[in-house]
Structures are given as structure tokens and as C-alpha cells.
Structure 1
Amino acid sequence: MCPAFSSDVLIRKLRRVADISDDDAAALGGLTIQEKDVPANRDVLLEGDRPTNSFIVLDGVVCSYKHTGAGKRQITSFFVAGDLPDLHGIHLAVIDCSFSSMTPGRLGLIRHSALRSICEQRPRVATSFWRSTLIDAAIYREWVTNVGRRDAYARTAHMLCELIVRLRFAGRIEDHVADLPITQAALGDAVGLSPVHVNRTLQALRGDGLIATSGTKLRALDWPGLVQAGEFDPTYLHLNDPDVAF
């Protein structure tokens, strides 16, 4: 258990989305956060679970997903360092989707009782949590538009733009170079394409000079071009430092 490191990640994230005072930060620093290492592709929570904790992503990438009756997986969001994927579990007793680690990472578990207590005592902390869940909802809306109305080329470019911006915002990458150890199958589950179609689409993006890949590294060679290809507008991410997107 390393509460200092864990709370630093939480405080940094909340300060990026809301006004947190030093006193609020000190109160957050006093939360007991139990750290847990997770390997890649490990379920963290399953649909139907009734957890007594919420978790913060301290490192790595986590996804939320749903399965169809035929067993097909639809990834509904990615979460990076500082994100609180199941914060809504404070008020909703049953988890209505599943969460899985996409990469090796580390999570921080916080008891619901502690989160409710700090929200009651610290209104600005409660507001920051509320704002965080509203941003998550905005991301869901954008994903619905992306999967439902953009073609394969645009939706893949859009997804890459979002991941790069969110990882930059979380301080996990510099410039527009990202280490994205996410399989093409997982990317396909996020954008509603088969792995073969994802592979062809990535080849097209490389062929147009927009991206370069080497192993798990992805570089945006032409960031304005990738943004245009994906019709990407970071407004829905509600960044308090919009320059991080460019």
C-alpha cells in the first residue's frame, strides 16, 4: 500500500478537470488507497458485480466492455492513468459493464464509504468527481458517433487521436509518440471492425504518411492530417489545457 503515490495520481487528475484547493488535496491525500498490480487482459470487474470499492488507474490502460448474446465484445471506452472508470459504483449498486486491463498496469482501490465521506465533507471534491463522470459520458457520446457514423478510416484515425491526446494529458507520452501495446483485435473491438479490416486501415494511414509504427510504438507523422482524417475535435474531452491536444 503506497497512499502517497496513489493519491498524487488522483489529485493530479482531479486538478486537471476541476478547481481543487490545497486543503481538498490534503484530504484526498489522506485516503487509504490499496494498490494492485494487474497483468494484461485480466478482468478487473464483471457485469453484475456488486463492488464495495472503486478504482483509479495508476498506470497502464483499462477498458470497459459489453458482450453481445453471440459473444462478440464491444469496447465502450479506454481509461488511462488518473481515470476513475467505475466511480459511478458509489451510487449504482450493480456494475452494468465489465472492465479489463488492456496492458500490464497498476490500480488503486478506494472504499466507497471513504469516497462518500469525503464528498459529504468536501463539496469541491464531490464536484470534481461529478465533473469527471460527466466527461466520461461525453466520451461515450463521441464513441457512439464515431462507431455509428464515420467510415473505418475516419473512426480509426479518430480513436488514435483520442488515445494520443489522453495519454499526453496524463503525462504518459511526449509529443505525438505513443506506446500503444493494444492489439489490433482490441482496437477493432473499440471501433467495430474486424482485425483484418483494422490492419488494412492502419496500412492506409501509414501509406498516406499520417502515422508510423514500430512494434508497439505509434508516431503521428502528420498530426494535423491525422486530426483531419479522424474529424477529431478534442472539445468533448473538456481539457483545461487545450494546447495539450496539438
Structure 2
Amino acid sequence: MHQPVNRNAMLYIDRPPERHRLVQKLQSITELTAEERQALLDLPMTVRSYTRGEDIVRGGGIPSECCLILDGFACRYKLLPDGRRQIMAFHTPGDLPDLQSLHIQTLDHSVGAMMPTLAAFIPHASMRTLTARFPGLMHAFWRDTLIDAAVFREWLIGIGRRDAHERIAHLICEMLLRFRGVELAPDNTFRMPATQGDIADALGLSNVHVNRVLQDLRRDKLITWGNYTVSVLKWDELQKRALFDATYLHQVSRAAA
């Protein structure tokens, strides 16, 4: 069974802007036919709202649905027995953070909202019917899963080998391109409601270290970051600071930032 239904759960008959997020995400990494795009838009979705800090998907659960982030921001995380947290991924609108639940019965991590977030739940049966009818979409979801693994590898390299400036600059570069992929980064600006503590938990740094690096990036006029809004001011210089190579995101097209 999935986790208890959020008290704010409701079924939306039609939410065109949000429903297009999945199409936008998959089109950023592969080509879709008109029929495939329509089939994605026609998927049954139960939409639930979450507040910051609330679990969208809970570790240890046995879900019967896949979760799709429609609006907001989320993180994938695990807690140690003493309460220490490791954030393993940030998730933007269009992401399916528990797509693996189609094939792995028990979840070994949680997905939590980092701001007021809308998440859609798509029955596994509907996903299986969809991919049986449209093999191209099965390959698109498989490609998305492989890219998710590539992102994990980059984060592992970051924690193991990049210094603090490179880690944080690299994260900002990655998030800009991911938000651009779903058309949510106008003028190289995007909403990232992560606190310094969240960034520390994701990148293996102390809060103090995160604060110092962000001050340096602001001082050098590479970024602005305030009220949970990030603007990249000097894309080329930020990439150099991060030693950033976007190949691992495998986006079909990336307009110059």
C-alpha cells in the first residue's frame, strides 16, 4: 500500500500546465511523437498537495503508483538511525523520483517536499499499459532512469573529489539546465527553495562552509541567491568554476545559457 493519503488529496480533471511537465521533461532528453505526447497527457493522475517538510513518498512503503512532481521542489533522502540526513537528489517539476517502484517493490528512501508542492500519482497499471502500447515511451522512461543514475555518479564524484566551491557551483549549473529543460528558468533564473542546511546535507559540507562559498559566488558576481531564487549572471565563468561538463545530463538540446 502507498503511504496514507494526504488530507489535501483531490482529483483534478484537467490541469494542462502541470500535465505538460512530464512531456517537457521527456522531450528534454529524447524525441516524442505526437501520439506519445498525447498518451502522456491522457494518463490518469491523482494530484495531492504537500507542505515543506512533508513526505511525498515514504521509505519502506510498497507503492502501487508512480509519483510525478508537477509543481514545487522535492528531494530524495535517507536518514541514519541517529537522525542525520543525506539528500541524494533534488527533483524539479517533470521528474518521476520513484519510477523504479514499477520494478522494485519496497522503497529504500523517501521523497520530501521542500516547498508547497503538487505531486501526481499515476497507477502502476496505467504506466504498464502505456509502455506496452507505446514502446518508444518505455525507452524514454528507461533513458530517464539511466540519466538519473548518471546524476548520482556526478554527485558521488562531487562529494569524493570536488572542493566546496566546485561542488556548489556544479550543483547550480546542473539545476539551471534541469529547470531550463522544463521551461522554468527564464533569464537564467529559477526557484530553488533549498536552505544552506539542505545544501550541506546534499553535498557533504558544513552550514558554515556553504555560507562562505555562496558569499564568494555572490561577491564574484557569478550568481544572486535570495528568497529561494537563484539567478546565474555569468554562465561561462560559473561553468569554469565548477569544472562543469553537461554531458551527463544527456539533454537533447540546450540553448546557450
Equivalent residue runs for 1:69-88 within 5 Å: 69-88=81-100
Q: Following TM superposition, by how much is the alpha carbon of 1:242 offset from its aligned partner in structure 2, in angstroms?
A: 2.3
CA deviation after TM superposition for structure 1 residue 19, in Å: 2.5
Find the counterpart in structure 2 of residue 224 from structure 1: 236
Aligned to 2:204: 192
- Considering only aligned residues, what root-mean-square deviation do their CA atoms show, in Å? 1.5
Distance verdict in 2 for CA 1:43–1:156, change over 3 Å: same
- 3-state SS of 1:242 partner: coil
- Contact 1:38/1:101, CA 8 A, preserved across alignment: yes
Whether 1:54 and 2:62 are equivalent positions in the alignment is no
Please identify, of 70-79 and 175-184, the stretch whose mean Cα deviation from structure 2 is larger.
175-184
Aligned equivalents of 1:93 and 1:73: distance in 2? Answer: 23
Q: Alpha-carbon deviation of 1:40?
A: 1.4
Q: 1:3 deviation in Å?
A: 4.3
1:16–1:88 distance in 2 versus 1, CA, 3 Å: same
1:103 alignment partner in structure 2: 115
Matched AA of 1:38: Y
* Range moving further from structure 2, 226-235 or 18-27: 18-27
Q: Tell me by how many angstroms 1:31 deviates.
A: 1.4
Summarize deviations over 1:88-134 as a string: whole Å, max 9, x none: 10011011111101111111110011101111121011111111111
Give the percent of matched residue pairs that are identical in Structure 1 and Structure 2: 36
TM-score, length-scaled by structure 2: 0.90
The answer for the alignment partner of 2:141 in structure 1 is 129
Is the 1:62–1:100 Cα contact (8 Å) retained in structure 2? yes
CA distance in 2, matches of 1:3, 1:95: 29
Give the counterpart of 1:23 among 28, 31, 35.
35
Give 2:150's aligned residue.
Answer: 138
Equivalent residues of 2:19, 2:70 under 8 A apart: no
Q: Are 1:3 and 1:31, in contact at CA under 8 Å, matched by a contact in 2? A: no
227, 242, 245: which one aligns with 1:233: 245
What secondary structure sits across from 2:81 in the alignment?
Answer: coil
Q: Among residues 164, 169, 181, which one is paired with 2:176 in the alignment?
A: 164
* Residues 161 and 232 in structure 1, CA contact (< 8 A), matched pair in contact too: yes
Q: Is the 8 A contact 1:4 1:29 kept in 2?
A: no
CA distance in 2, matches of 1:205, 1:26: 42
* Alpha-carbon distance between aligned partners in 2 of 1:109 and 1:23, rounded to the nearest angstrom: 22
Give, in whole Å, the separation in 1 of the partners of 2:174 and 2:50: 24
CA distance in structure 2 between the partners assigned to 1:4 and 1:102 by the alignment: 22
How much has 1:8 moved relative to structure 2? 2.2
CA deviation vs aligned residue, 1:27-72 (integer Å, no higher than 9, x gap):
2232111111111121111221101111111111111011223321
| 3-state SS of paired residue (2:186) | coil
Please say which of residues 37-46 and 136-145 is displaced more in the overlay. Answer: 37-46
TM-score (norm 1): 0.94
Structure 1 residues 4, 180: closer, same or farther in 2, change over 3 A?
closer
- The runs of 4+ residues in structure 1 deviating greater than 4 Å are none
